[in-house]
A and B are shown apart, each in its own frame.
Chain A
Amino acid sequence: AQKVTQAQTEISVVEKEDVTLDCVYETRDTTYYLFWYKQPPSGELVFLIRRNSFDEQNEISGRYSWNFQKSTSSFNFTITASQVVDSAVYFCALGTGGFKTIFGAGTRLFVKA
């Protein structure tokens, strides 16, 4: 079975705090892709990152960083020095051998000023 679990339903932080959003996936495929999308209040999901299963290097993009660990089937997302504009719902997703993508339930992040 293929599944994505985002155990944190909602997280609330104060501006400038660091926050990590957890993502655990399940798949038996050896080749797969992992994604993070951001959904701001406007509603449109915005692509953040896509990683394939053979590339376990961590990635940093500005205040965003991603930690991919195959040993624990996790692909966690950290926002450093959070800002109010980071408030959104964040989705982790899994793509395997097809066109379908499996999304987690999402984590709603509130960043308070």
Chain B
Amino acid sequence: DVKVTQSSRYLVKRTGEKVFLECVQDMDHENMFWYRQDPGLGLRLIYFSYDVKMKEKGDIPEGYSVSREKKERFSLILESASTNQTSMYLCASSRLLVAETQYFGPGTRLLVL
């Protein structure tokens, strides 16, 4: 069974704080993804990575950065959190093949005050 874990289920931060969201997968998948989920908008891709130290911008990368130092770990960083980054953040992983099935973590619900 593929397992994707995220460091926190719920997080409350203040405006301007630097926020780290961690994601770990245990299936040796090459691809990892960060999405944010907002009501009525579905899942929007923030960043993805297809290899260690490689990253690609998704559809809404502004205000975010990522880090992939090890194959199993993909971190999302909010350099200076803002209230409009209050959202549900979902991490996913997949094999390195076109349009592969993605396996998701449980999500982190972030509230920025």
Contact = CB atoms under 8 A, between A and B. Distances in A.
A19 interface: no
8 contacts: A4-B42, A43-B106, A44-B106, A97-B98, A99-B96, A103-B42, A103-B43, A105-B42
Contacts, number: 61
Interface string B18-43: 00000000000001000100001111
A95 B97 CA distance: 11
Contacts of B75: none
Interface of A: 4, 6, 9, 32-33, 35, 37, 42-47, 50, 91, 95-101, 103-106
Nearest to B88: A43
B99 interface: yes
B88 A101 contact: no
A44 B3 CA distance: 11
Closest 3 CB pairs of A and B: A95-B99, A43-B107, A45-B104
A33 B105 contact: no
